[in-house]
Amino acid sequence: MTSWTEAQARALITDPGTLKRGQELAAPAKWSNLGQTDTAAWGECKGSGSTPYQTGIDLQEPAFKCSCPSRVFPCKHGAGLLLLLARQPQLLSSPTPPPWLQEWLAKRQQTAGKQPAQRTIQQDAHLSGLPAPVENNDSGAASEAELARQKREAQRLVRMQRGAEELETWLLDLIRAGLAATESQPPSFWENQAARLVDNQLPGLAANIRELAALRHQGTDWPERMLARLGELYLLVRTVPRLEQLPAATRQEILQQLGVSVKKEEVVATQPGVADTWWALSQTTTEEDRLTVRRSWLQGQETGRFALVVEFSFGGQAFATPLMPAGCYTGSLSFYPGLLPLRAVPGELAFTGTYSLAPLGSTGPAQLLNDYATALAQQPWLRELPVLLAGGVPHQTASGDWVLHFPTHGYVTADTSTTLPGNPATPIEHQPDREVALPLRCDELTGWELRALSGGYPLTVFGEWTGAALRPLTCWPAPSPVSNPAC
Amino acid sequence: MSETPTTTPAPALQPATDWQRILRVALLGSRQAPDALPDAGLKLPESNTHPDYREKQVLLTAGTLSLIRKAGFRPAPVPAFASDVPVVAPPDTAPPLGPAGAQLLAQLLEGTHAALLRGFLEDLPRHGRRVPHQLLVSLLEYARPRPDLHAATAAVLGQRGVWLAAQNPAWQPIVAGSRAVEEAVWETGTIRERVNFLTHLRGASPAQARELLAATLPQEPAKNQTALLEALGTGLSPADEALLEQYLTSKSKEVRQAARLLLARVPGSQLVERLWQRVEPLLQLKRGLLSKKLLLELPAQAWDKTWLTDGVEQRDTRFSGDKAALLGQMVALLPPHRWSGHWNIAPTKLLDLAAGTEWAALLLSAWAEAAILHHDAGWAVALLEWFFEQPRKLATTLPAAGLVKLLSATQLTDLVLPLLNATPHLTPDVRWLPLLLLVPAPWPERLTRRVVELLRDALSRPEQLHRIHYAASQLLEHMAQVVPAAQHDLCAQPLQPLLQNVPYLHNSLARLLNALHFRQQLEAALNEPPG
C-alpha cells in the first residue's frame, strides 16, 4: 500500500479555503465507517443534515466523490478524508468497501475506456479558448477549413505586426522622455499600452509591460532593471516584422514569447515524447483572483532533462495532472517547440512512489554560470534556468541578504577557519576550486529554513537561476553530517 | 536575428562602463541627454539620419548589454560571515520526533489545538526528544513574540536549534532568556523587562533587589511604581516593611493599593496588628448556652488621614456605605484564619453565623478577598462549600475563580462531586455549573465519569436540547481543555454514538472528542521511533 504524506495530500487540494475547512475535518470524531483498500479510501462524515455524507477517494487517479452538495473537488469532506489518510492511516480500518463506493468505482471503470478521447477535447477547448476542432473526413471541407484557418492566421499576423509597431513607437517615446519621467505616470500609462497589446493579440508582451509597471516598487535599482527589461523587450519587438524569414524553431520560440498559445495536443502530436522516469523536484502554487497556477519542475532520471509543467485551475477545480512533490513517475513528456525547450506537456504518467534522497546529477556554481551563458546564447529571452546545485552552504551576509557559499574544498570541518575572500578579477572557470558565493533570491525565513536544514554543511539545492541570483525551490540536506570527512 | 549581439565580436566592449553611460541617457531621456552613446559593436539596419535613430540605439544597446551582463555574471567577492558561531552545528544527541510527531507539531504551530503546544514542548525533554530540523524555524518564529514559551522552546531546540537561534538576533532572547538577564535592562528596558529583571534578582538576592528598588522608586512615575513594587511579592519578608510603609500614603491610589496588599502578607506584619486593633472590638462572638451569635458594629469614628497609614481608604466601591466600606476593607486585608483562630470556631460555622447578621454579604465577600490574598486554601474550601451547598439568598457573588486557584484538582473534585450528586441534572441554571467550569486540568477520572453520565442523560433527550444548548456547549468546550487524553475512551464510548443526533451540539461534541484524540496522538508521539 502506498502511504501518503501530508505534503502530497495538500498538493491535491487546490483551494486554500477547502484546505482550511478540510483540516478541521481531519480528525476522527465526525467520521464513521472509515476504511481503505490499496486503491480507494472512504468514510461517512457527519454534517449539519440528518444523514452523514458519503465520501470516497479513488486513489489511483486520485479522484473524489462526495454526497454533499459542494461543487468544489475535492470538497472539504474529501480534503479531510485525504488528510486523515495521510496523517493516521490506521484509523481507516475497514477493508471492505461499502456498496455505494463499489458502485461508484465500477462506474468509473466503465467510463474509463471512453474518457481519454473526451478529456483531450475538453482540455483543448479549455486551454486555447477556441472551440474544439471538428474532425472531418471530407477532403473538400477539410481544405476549405484549412483555407479559412490560413486566412485567420494571416489576419492575426497583420494585427500582431501592427501591435508590435505601436509598441516600438511607445518604447522609443519612453526612452526619449527618460525613465525618470515614468515615476510620475499614473498606472493607466502602463495599463493602456498593455490593453492595446492584448487587443492586438500579443498577450505575452502585455504581461511584460504589466511587470514593468510593478518594477519601480521593487527596490532602488529599478531604473537599471527596467532598462534591461526594456532593451530585451525591444530585441523581441524587432523580430516581429521578420517573423516569416526566421528558422522554424526560432519562430516558434518567439511566437510563444509574444503570447501565441500552442495547444497542448498540438504539442503532443507534433513533438516526440521523451520517455523517462521523472522526479518531481519542486512544486509552487500561486493565486491570482480565482485562478490558481501551479508550476512543477520535473527531472528525467535517465536523460537528466528538466521539464516545467504549468497547470491552471479555476475556482477550486482539480489540476489536469495529479503531480505531487517528491513523486516519481514513469512515462513520457512532450516539450513545447522552441530554442531551449523546458516547458512540457505530460503524457500518461504512472505514479511509482516517492523518493527521499537528493536527486543525482547536480552541478557546481562554475558549471551553472557556463550553462546559463550557453542557454542565453540559444534563447536570449530566457528568464530562469533550472539547476540542481550541490555543495553550497546557505549563509546570511552582514547586510541581511542570503547567499549560497561554496567552500573551496568539499566539506567544511568544524576546525576550518574562515578562508579569505577570493580575487574577483580571476575568471572562475580557471579556478574551479575557488570559493564562490551565489546570491539567493528568497525571503528571510526561507533563508533561515535552508540554514536550519544545512547545519553549516553543504546542501543540494534545486532552484531557478535568474541571471543574477538563485531562487531556491527545494533542498536536501547531506545524508548525515560527518564529523571527519575525507576530502 | 541579425541583431543577436552575443555572436557579434566587439573588441572595444566595456560592459560595465558602457552600461552606466547608457543608463544615464535612459534615465534622463535621450532628448535631454546629448551624451555620445556606446555602440556595443552594433550596427542598425536603419540609416543614422532616421529621426528615431538615437532612441533605437539606446534600446538595442541596452538589450545587448543586459544579455552580456547576465551571461557574464561574476559572483561578488565572498563576504565575511559572522565568526562568533561555530561554522557547523555540533551533532545532535537527542533523537528528533518521528514523522507523526513532526506532523502533529506542525499542526500545533499552524494553530490547531494551539493551547496544547506548551504542554507538548514541555513533555519533549522529559522523553529525551527534540524538534526536527525542518520545524526549527517555524517553532522559533512562533515562540518569538510569546515570552511565556521561551523556556519551553529553548529546551527542545537541540544542538542544531541552539546553533541556529544564536545567529538570529530576533531569536537570541529565546535561548538567552533563561540565562542571566543583563543589567542594562534595568536602566534602559521597558517597564515589563525591568519588572522581569527585578523579579529574577529578587529570587536570587532579595535584599539587593530591595535596595535597587528603594533607590529608584522615588524617581519613577506612579504607574511604574505599582508594577515595580509588585516584584517584591517574591520572597516577601519583614525586612521589606519599612520600604512598603512609605508608600501606604502615596499620592497614587494604585501605589497605596499595591503597598497595602503586600504589607498585609508580610509575616508578622505590623499593618495587620494595627488593623486588628481597630477591627477586633467591632466583631464580637456572643456565646449563649445553646447557640452562638455574631454581633457586629460599624466603626464609631469617621475616616480621617490616620486611617490611610493603616491601609484603609475613605471609599471603596466594593462595599456600599461609608462606614461599612471601612469595615469591609479591614476584614478583606486581615488573614481570615485570624478570626477562626481567635474564636476557636470552624470557618463554616462562622459563615453560618455571619449569614444571620445584616452584614452577611459584606463579610462573605471580604473574607473571600482575604482568603485569596493570603492563599488560605482551608478558608477557600469552606467559602465555596458553604456558598454552593444550598441556594443562598445573598446580594453578593463569590470571587470563585480566585478561590478555586487555591485548591488542587482533587480538593475541587471532592467539593464538586457531592454537588453533582445532589442535583444530578444538567440545566442552564444549575448551581454547580459555574464551579465545574472552573475545575482545572487534569480532571480526575471519577469527575469525568460522573460528568459524562450527566451529559449522556441530558443529550439523550433531544426535546430538551434547545434549553441546555448553551450550558452544554460551554461544558463540552471546557472539557476539551481539561480532560486528560487517557480518558478519551471514557468520553468517546458513551458520547460518540450521540453525535448523529444532537443538532446544535455536534460541533462542540466533535471538538471535545477530537481534542482528546489529538492529545492521545501527542502522547504517542513522545515514544514514536524517530523516522
| Cβ atoms within 10 Å of B21's Cβ, excluding its own | 17
Name the nearest CA neighbour of B199 among B239, B229, B177. B229
pLDDT value for B289: 78
Residue A383's beta-bridge partner residues? none
Determine the distance in angstroms separating the CA of A171 from the nearest CA of chain B, rounded to an integer.
Answer: 8
Dihedral sign for Cα B368, B373, B378, B384, please: positive
pLDDT value for A138: 53
- Please indicate whether, in this complex, the C-beta atoms of A365 and B32 are within 8 angstroms of each other: no
pLDDT value for B120: 94
- Chain A's closest residue to B136, CA to CA, is A452
Set of cell numbers at residue B14: 566595456
- Please indicate whether, in this complex, the C-beta atoms of B514 and A27 are within 8 angstroms of each other: yes
Name the nearest CA neighbour of B5 among A238, A179, A209. A238
- Please indicate whether, in this complex, the C-beta atoms of B72 and A246 are within 8 angstroms of each other: no
| Orientation angle between helical segments B347-355 and B360-373, nearest 10 degrees | 150
pLDDT tens-digit series, residues B231-273: 999 889 999 999 999 999 999 999 999 999 999 999 999 999 9
- Please indicate whether, in this complex, the C-beta atoms of B63 and A231 are within 8 angstroms of each other: yes
For residues B275 and B266, the answer to whether their CB atoms sit within 8 Å is no
A294-325 b/e with 16+ CB inside 10 Å = b? bbbbbbbbeeebbbbbebebeebbbbbebbbb
Percent above pLDDT 90 for chain B: 55
Set of cell numbers at residue A428: 572562475
- Please indicate whether, in this complex, the C-beta atoms of A435 and B78 are within 8 angstroms of each other: yes
Q: Which of B62, B72, B511 sits opposite A231 (nearest CB)?
A: B62
pLDDT value for A480: 52
- Please indicate whether, in this complex, the C-beta atoms of A424 and B81 are within 8 angstroms of each other: no
Query: Concatenated DSSP letters for B152-165?
Result: HHHTTSHHHHHHHH
| Orientation angle between helical segments B15-28 and B53-71, nearest 10 degrees | 140
**How distant, in Å, are the alpha carbons of A438, A452, B236 from that of A477?**
18, 10, 53
- Please indicate whether, in this complex, the C-beta atoms of B161 and A452 are within 8 angstroms of each other: yes
Determine the distance in angstroms separating the CA of B428 from the nearest CA of chain A, rounded to an integer.
Answer: 24
Contacts of B50 in chain A (CB under 8 A): none
Contacts of B107 in chain A (CB under 8 A): 23
pLDDT value for B77: 85
At residue B145, φ and ψ (nearest 5 deg) are -85, 10
- Chain A's closest residue to B34, CA to CA, is A176
- What is the spatial distance between Cα A205 and Cα A5, in angstroms, rounded to a whole number? 40
State the complex-level ipTM. 0.81
Name the nearest CA neighbour of B108 among B530, B477, B529, B522. B522
In B56-179 the beta strands, taken as DSSP E runs, fall at none
- Please indicate whether, in this complex, the C-beta atoms of A178 and B26 are within 8 angstroms of each other: yes
pLDDT value for A300: 94
User: Which of the four pLDDT bands, split at 50, 70 and 90, describes residue B478?
Assistant: very high
Set of cell numbers at residue A249: 524553431
- Please indicate whether, in this complex, the C-beta atoms of A230 and B134 are within 8 angstroms of each other: no
- Name the 3-class secondary structure at A465: strand
Q: Which of A176, A456, A483 sits opposite B31 (nearest CB)?
A: A176
Dihedral sign for Cα A187, A188, A193, A199, please: positive
Mean pLDDT of B314-340: 91
pLDDT value for B372: 95
pLDDT tens-digit series, residues B165-187: 999 989 988 887 644 456 677 88
Ordered alpha helix ranges (H), A26-138:
76-87, 99-112, 115-128
pLDDT tens-digit series, residues B80-105: 887 678 889 999 999 999 989 999 99
Q: Which of A27, A414, A424 sits opposite B87 (nearest CB)?
A: A414
Residue A70 Ramachandran class (φ > 0 left, ψ -120 to 50 alpha, else beta): beta
Contacts of B66 in chain A (CB under 8 A): 227-229, 231-232
Cell 514559551, residue located: B149
- Chain A's closest residue to B91, CA to CA, is A481
- What is the spatial distance between Cα B409 and Cα B412, in angstroms, rounded to a whole number? 5
Q: What is the largest CA-CA distance in chain A?
A: 81
- Please indicate whether, in this complex, the C-beta atoms of A30 and B499 are within 8 angstroms of each other: yes
pLDDT tens-digit series, residues B11-41: 567 888 899 999 999 999 988 888 788 876 7
The CB-based long-range contact list for B266-274 (8 Å cut-off, 24+ gap) reads: B266/B236, B266/B237, B266/B238, B266/B240, B266/B241, B267/B236, B267/B237, B267/B238, B268/B238, B269/B238, B269/B241, B270/B241, B270/B245, B271/B245, B271/B310, B271/B311, B271/B333, B272/B333, B272/B334, B272/B335, B272/B338, B274/B310
- What is the spatial distance between Cα B221 and Cα A228, in angstroms, rounded to a whole number? 59
The pLDDT averaged over each successive group of 10 residues in chain A (487 residues) is 74 83 88 89 86 88 85 87 89 89 85 52 38 47 81 89 94 93 90 93 92 85 92 94 89 91 87 93 85 92 93 80 87 93 91 82 90 94 93 90 80 35 39 77 94 94 94 84 37
Determine the distance in angstroms separating the CA of A325 from the nearest CA of chain B, rounded to an integer.
Answer: 16
For residues B120 and B93, the answer to whether their CB atoms sit within 8 Å is no
pLDDT value for B395: 60
Contacts of A452 in chain B (CB under 8 A): 133-134, 136-137, 160-161, 164
- Please indicate whether, in this complex, the C-beta atoms of B1 and A250 are within 8 angstroms of each other: yes
- Chain B's closest residue to A445, CA to CA, is B137
SS3 sequence, A126-177? HHHCCCCCCCCCCHHHHHHHHHHHHHHHHHHHHHHHHHHHHHHHHHHHHHHH
For residues A202 and A166, the answer to whether their CB atoms sit within 8 Å is no
Name the nearest CA neighbour of A458 among A436, A430, A442. A436
Determine the distance in angstroms separating the CA of A132 from the nearest CA of chain B, rounded to an integer.
Answer: 35
At residue A478, φ and ψ (nearest 5 deg) are -60, 145
In A290-444 the beta strands, taken as DSSP E runs, fall at 291-300, 306-314, 327-335, 344-354, 385-396, 402-406, 436-440
Torsion of CA A74, A292, B142, B81, to 10 degrees: 140
- Chain B's closest residue to A423, CA to CA, is B77
Set of cell numbers at residue B460: 439523550
Set of cell numbers at residue B27: 534615465
SS3 sequence, B202-234? HHHCHHHHHHHHHHHHHHCCHHHHHHHHHHHHC
Query: Concatenated DSSP letters for B178-194?
Result: TSPPPTHHHHHS-HHHH
A382-399 b/e with 16+ CB inside 10 Å = b? bebbbbbbbbbbbbbbee
Question: Would you give the DSSP letter of residue A468?
Answer: S
pLDDT value for B204: 87
* pLDDT above 80: residue B5: no
- Please indicate whether, in this complex, the C-beta atoms of B78 and A176 are within 8 angstroms of each other: no
Q: What angle (nearest 5°) sits at the alpha carbon of residue A238, between those of residues A249 and A384?
A: 55
pLDDT tens-digit series, residues A367-381: 999 999 999 999 999
Contacts of A387 in chain B (CB under 8 A): none
Contacts of B74 in chain A (CB under 8 A): 369, 424, 427-428
Selected residue with higher pLDDT from B4 and B275:
B275
- Chain A's closest residue to B162, CA to CA, is A452
Mean pLDDT of B146-169: 92
Torsion of CA A261, A264, A270, A273, to 10 degrees: 130
Q: What pTM was estimated for this model as a whole? A: 0.78
Mean pLDDT of B420-447: 90
CA B435 vs. chain centroid, Å, equals: 22
Dihedral sign for Cα A279, A284, A288, A292, please: positive
Average pLDDT, chain B: 88
